Amino acid sequence: MSALSASAQELPALHNVTGVASNDVLNIRSTPNASSTIIGFLGPDQNWVEVIRSDSSGKWGLVNTNETSGWVSLRYMVRVQAGSSLDLEQKLSCSGTEPFWSSSLDGTRAFLDINGEITDYFLVAHNRVENRNHKAGFSARSSADPRNTLAGIISAQSCSDGMSDREYGVSVDLLIQQGIDFKTITGCCSLQP
């Protein structure tokens, strides 16, 4: 797969390392340049690596390593599968702060953990926003109590968790209705295999 065709695809997306010798690594660099500082590496058989976005040339992809983000040559990355995070064809792992929360979301279910209190939801509806193709909305109902609902907007855009130097390629705004209680929380998401 050429770097140009990789950059033309919707990102973020999961990729596998390819074309790297078994005794070598794919360097993660501080900037999209082969002579920039190496800040990490991917193994020659590393799979399910999230490429968040490409640079303006389409030859480099931004990935996360530890608590920061860096650049890999897309020449050595192949997209795992077609599909989009916005269409929930790949599982999303999302989180945010104040309050601390985490969620996993796929095409059928959502789990939401707020300060250790976990609620299981089933998806009722999901679709792209008609006038903004980089956004999608969803609604879900609690498995235990159908009066409790979860709705959200997923956006393919740069997102920061405010606690690290990592960059995320998906942001989420959640609307939570539990009885008469209503709250809104926001956070960032990454793709999961």
pLDDT tens-place string over residues 33-83 = 999 999 999 999 999 999 999 999 999 999 999 889 999 999 999 999 777
pLDDT tens per residue across span 20-47: 999 999 999 999 999 999 999 999 999 9
| CATH superfamily, domain at 3-79 | SH3 Domains (2.30.30.40)
Read off the pTM.
Answer: 0.86
Rg (CA), the chain: 18
DSSP label at 37?
Answer: P
Domain ranges of the chain: 3-79, 85-192
Helix (H) or strand (E) holding 5: helix 3-8
Output the pLDDT for position 129. 85
d(CA 73, CA 34): 8
Whether omega before 12 lies within 30 degrees of 0, making that bond cis, reads: yes
DSSP label at 2?
Answer: -
Output the pLDDT for position 9. 59
